[in-house]
A and B are shown apart, each in its own frame.
Chain A
Amino acid sequence: MTWLRMLATQLKYVNKAFWRNPASAFFTFAFPLMFLVVFTSLLGHHPITLQPGHTIDVSTYYVAAMAANAVISACYNYIAIGLAFQRDAGVLKRTRGTPIPGGVYIAGRLVHALFVSVILVVITAAYGRFFYHASLPTGTPLVEFLIMLLVGALAFCALGFAITCAIPNADAAPAVVNASMLPLLFLSGVFIPLTSTAPTWIIWVGRIFPVRHFALGMDAGFVGTTFNWMDVVVVAAWGLGALAVSLRFFSWEPKR
């Protein structure tokens, strides 16, 4: 119970600080939504075949893809860059000198990232519904979608924790985060839909890394493609792997 109360208090302050930092709020909120607007305006309104016999408007596709992108940036980017900055500024070390359990402190950041992800997905879905008449998941697809969203958000948070172990200092954080995630977003069909003509190696990148699996799981809810539990399993496995790396290598002290 103390644990929960501490987490709630922690969450309150994380949230307060988040909204008061214009740069942080801009990058986590405006950026993914800007992508959604740009991609749908630029490439919208032509049919695209995702599965044999399943053709949809490309703008609907982007609503799902940008929802996935928003979750990744709210979890992976936000956690990794935020923690690297906090670590370098000595905030983490200071926290380590107080009796708050490390798990509660980390959970505060994680739950806040989930909270931001949900808001982003809701805004994206509302935008898609309003401007592109994208269908929204209901019934079983909704449950599947929510499971994918939760598992994906947790996994990308864990990956964000894990990548901080490889970030040498706060100045390098945005570069490391973007260099590790941007190529994957392109190669996983998030920015540009992958068709059957895509090169084999790109298909394999999508199969190995978690981004494509997460995007496919999110697609299923929005565009009505088949939901595949294997996607959830792969994403979850990456999350658990990242958790193991974090537990072993995560540092509360600045790297010098």
Chain B
Amino acid sequence: MDATTDSCAISVVGLVKSYGATLALRGVDLEVRRGEIFALLGPNGAGKTTCVEIMEGFRHRDAGDVRVLGVDPDRQPMALKARIGIVLQSTGVDRYLSVAETIAMYSSYYPHPRPVDEIVALVGLDAKRDERVLRLSGGQQRRLDVAIALAGDPDLLFLDEPTTGFDPSARREVWDVIKNLRNLGKTVLLTTHFMDEAQYLADRLAVIADGRIVAEGDPDTLAGRDRMTATVRFSLPDHVAPPEDVALEMVATNTFALATLDVTRDLHRLTSWALDHHVDLGDLRVDRPTLEDVYLELTAAVTTKVVR
């Protein structure tokens, strides 16, 4: 094992996969570092699940090189399975076993399992330890899914759309558990189509569209998001005229917006003016394009290209 594979939990080069005549993946390159939470974003049918299932060893690739924890999933599936944990989009368990029994059963499949009670505590199911699975709520069942994926004390976890179909509080429950995994030093590969999920959880992310990676980076700086035009908004009290040397747009009564590429300078000018004139800038905020704005732009561009 050389230095690159060692710092790299997953490395994918030129991955190609087709189903019959449909090309699902057309040359995907991807690198996930050890210890990070990496999110793979993309619209339905973009190739997210195919990509992940190849890494997990569920599917065989047509071409390209895939290394997961230094192992080729096609060549040594069993060696790999012992070191990864998988949470699939929709998976059941035997509903008549208890939480602890279920985790213990899956633990028995692994060479070096993590103690059951430790896992139960990690996912916050202590109070439900001896409850039958069929009595768990949706969020609790998902936490059990994560618990099962942790049974073998894996180095790497795959989470395929972990919160799809959940209400906000159940999503938050699951997010907290996933955040916790980073503290354990686990690497997490997460697929999702929720931008807030990627923003909240991911250290780095990649956007996949039409079988290709169209952008990769930090959630805050993806595709130059941090360098795009920002909007400064504020409101003024009645009968106060806005400064004249700034290109303001009135968006509502007494509410103004300023589009800027230099937030620091423009904000400074505005606040100096406000202090000089003893005026309160109500509801002052700076909006940057959200991850969702960037994502929609990226995936829309690909879709148009395809149509053309």
Give residues 54-109 of B contacting A (CB, 8 Å): 56-58, 78, 81-82, 84, 86, 88, 90-94, 96-97, 101, 105-106, 108-109
Determine whether A241 belongs to the interface, using a CB cutoff of 8 Å to chain B.
Answer: no
Chain A 4-27 interface residues, beta-carbon cutoff 8 Å to B: 6, 9-10, 13, 16-17, 20-21
Asked whether any CB of chain B lies closer than 8 Å to the CB of A91, the reply is yes
CB contacts (< 8 Å) of B57 on chain A: these are 97
A13 pairs with B94, CB closer than 8 A: yes
Nearest B residue to A2 by beta-carbon distance? B111
- Residue B194, interface by CB 8 Å: no
A17 touches B78 (CB 8 A): no
Q: Which of B84, B86, B108, B152 has the most CB of A within 10 A?
A: B108
Assess the A90–B86 pair: CB atoms within 8 A: no
A98 touches B91 (CB 8 A): no
| B132 within 8 Å of A (CB atoms) | yes
Residue of A6, A10, A20, A90 near B132 (CB, 8 A) is A20
Contact present for A91 and B93 (CB under 8 Å): yes
Chain A residues contacting B91 (CB-CB under 8 Å) are 89-91, 93-94
A6 pairs with B94, CB closer than 8 A: no
Tell me whether A96 is interfacial, beta carbon within 8 Å: yes
Q: Does A205 contact B (CB under 8 A)?
A: no
Does A100 interact with chain B (Cβ within 8 Å)? yes
B56-A16 in contact (CB<8A): no
Q: How many residues of chain A get a CB closer than 8 Å to chain B's CBs?
A: 21
Q: Name the contact of A17 in the complex, choosing from B90, B96, B148 (C-beta under 8 A).
A: B96
User: Are B96 and A94 within 8 A (Cβ)?
Assistant: no
Complex-state Cα separation, A20 to B93, whole angstroms: 14
CA distance A160 to B199 in the complex (A): 48
A83-113 interface (Cβ within 8 A of B): 86, 89-91, 93-94, 96-101
With a 10 A CB-CB cut-off, give which of B57, B88, B96, B152 has the most chain A CB atoms. B96
Across the interface, do A99 and B97 meet the contact criterion of CB distance under 8 Å?
Answer: no
Chain A residues contacting B234 (CB-CB under 8 Å) are none
Nearest CB of A to B46, in Å: 19
Could you tell me the distance in whole angstroms from the C-beta of B87 to the nearest C-beta in chain A?
A: 9
Interface centre among B81, B105, B106 (most CB of A within 10 A): B105
Q: A100 with B58: in contact, given A20-B132, A94-B148 (CB under 8 Å)?
A: no
A125 to B91, CA, bound (A): 41
Q: Report whether A98 and B110 are in contact in the complex, using a CB–CB cutoff of 8 Å.
A: yes
Docked-complex contact B105 and A99, CB < 8 angstroms:
no
Chain A residues, CB < 8 A from B96 = 16-17, 20-21
CA distance A93 to B148 in the complex (A): 13
Residues of A within 8 A of B106 (CB): 98
Give bound CA distance, A10 to B108, whole Å. 8
Residues of A within 8 A of B90 (CB): 90
When the two chains form the complex, which single residue of A9, A96, A99 contacts B82, counting CB atoms closer than 8 Å?
A99
Output the least CB separation between B125 and chain A (Å).
18
A91-B132 Cα distance, complex, nearest whole Å = 16
Chain A residues near B94 (CB, 8 Å)? 13, 17, 91
Alpha-carbon distance A45/B246, docked complex (angstroms):
106
CB distance from A128 to the nearest CB of B (A): 32
Q: How many Å lie between the Cα of A97 and that of B152 in the bound state?
A: 12
Given known contacts A13-B105, A98-B81, A98-B152, A89 and B92 CB-to-CB distance under 8 angstroms:
yes
- Contacting pair A93 B78 (CB below 8 A): no
| A residues near B93, Cβ cutoff 8 Å | 91, 94
* Chain B residue at smallest Cβ distance from A18: B96
Residue contact B108 to A97, C-beta cutoff 8 Å: no
Annotate B212-230 by CB proximity to A: 1 below 8 A, 0 otherwise.
0000000000000000000
* 9 A-B pairs whose Cβ atoms sit less than 8 Å apart in the complex: A9-B108, A13-B97, A13-B101, A16-B97, A89-B91, A93-B58, A93-B91, A94-B91, A99-B81
The 10 A-B residue pairs with the shortest CB-CB distance in the complex, in nearest-first order: A89-B92, A90-B91, A20-B96, A100-B109, A97-B86, A94-B91, A99-B81, A9-B108, A99-B82, A17-B94
Interface contacts beyond A94-B88, A97-B56, A101-B78: sample of 13 additional A-B pairs, CB < 8 Å, sorted by A: A6-B108, A6-B109, A13-B101, A16-B96, A16-B97, A17-B96, A93-B91, A94-B93, A97-B81, A97-B84, A98-B86, A99-B111, A99-B152
